[in-house]
Chains A and B, each alone.
Chain A
């Protein structure tokens, strides 16, 4: 199974952009890159996903390296509500369909 590597924690100032990196050097050609975040005492929440091209949505942007071995989640203006654990995961196709395996994630601290 392809795995992801993320920094344990990062810190940002409020209102500034945040770049959260993720390495996935063993990614296969059909793996989608997904990002989720988890606020304290809540279930994970979908943020964004992509395959090869960069993606934007109302929450964030996803920049995918040309060789797909790394990606970066970009929060354009961090707020205190963005303080959470961010998970970079690969959606892998198993024998019964797509499954999702999470790594340890990056804990983002946002300072006022």
Chain B
């Protein structure tokens, strides 16, 4: 059982480049989330998707877009990367209504130079 899988694990971008972070879960969860974690800090919610076909902004959505491609996949896109977006990005999923626990991926470490 893979759980939540994120790709890539590491990425270096130049300022202004674009890229998409991929996330897939195999637990049939309805809700999925994207977080970022800066060094020494807690996680901050970027976007979430309560169910297939819906997305909503979290605490820090500026500079990002998301797509809930299907029930399994939730991608995060950086259209024009900036050094301030250097961070570790985590994807998570949870069952419908989120009362149950969330499962996290191993993270994508992104550096923007």
A98 near B59 with CB under 8 A, answer no
Quick one: CB contact mask for A85-112 with B, threshold 8 Å, 1 for yes?
A: 1010001011111111111110000000
Q: Judge if B74 is at the interface, Cβ distance under 8 Å.
A: no
Instruction: Give the distance in Å from the alpha carbon of A85 to the alpha carbon of B42 in the complex.
Output: 9
Q: Judge if A68 is at the interface, Cβ distance under 8 Å.
A: no
Instruction: Give the distance in Å from the alpha carbon of A63 to the alpha carbon of B47 in the complex.
Output: 31
Kindly identify, within residues 64 to 99 of chain B, every residue whose CB is under 8 Å from any CB belonging to chain A. Answer: 90, 92, 94, 96-99
Q: A44-B43, A105-B42 are in contact. Are A98 and B106 (CB under 8 A)?
A: no
The dominant DSSP class at the A interface is strand
B48 near A87 with CB under 8 A, answer no
Instruction: Give the distance in Å from the alpha carbon of A38 to the alpha carbon of B49 in the complex.
Output: 23
Q: Which residues of B contact A96 (CB under 8 A)?
A: 48-51, 54-56
Min CB distance A23 to B, Å, is 16
Contact partner of A43 (CB less than 8 A), chosen from B41, B50, B90, B98, is B90
Question: For chains A and B in complex, what number of residue pairs have CB atoms within 8 angstroms?
Answer: 80
Q: Judge if B25 is at the interface, Cβ distance under 8 Å.
A: no
Instruction: Give the distance in Å from the alpha carbon of A95 to the alpha carbon of B30 in the complex.
Output: 15
A104 near B106 with CB under 8 A, answer no
Q: Judge if B12 is at the interface, Cβ distance under 8 Å.
A: no
Contact partner of B33 (CB less than 8 A), chosen from A32, A85, A100, is A100
**Could you list 20 examples of A-B contacts with CB < 8 Å?**
A36-B102, A43-B4, A43-B107, A44-B104, A46-B103, A91-B99, A93-B98, A94-B56, A96-B51, A97-B51, A98-B31, A98-B98, A99-B58, A100-B33, A100-B45, A100-B92, A102-B35, A102-B42, A102-B43, A102-B45
Besides A96-B51, A99-B33, 18 other CB < 8 A contacts? A43-B106, A44-B43, A46-B102, A46-B103, A85-B42, A91-B99, A96-B55, A96-B56, A97-B48, A97-B50, A97-B96, A97-B98, A98-B99, A99-B50, A99-B98, A101-B59, A102-B43, A104-B42
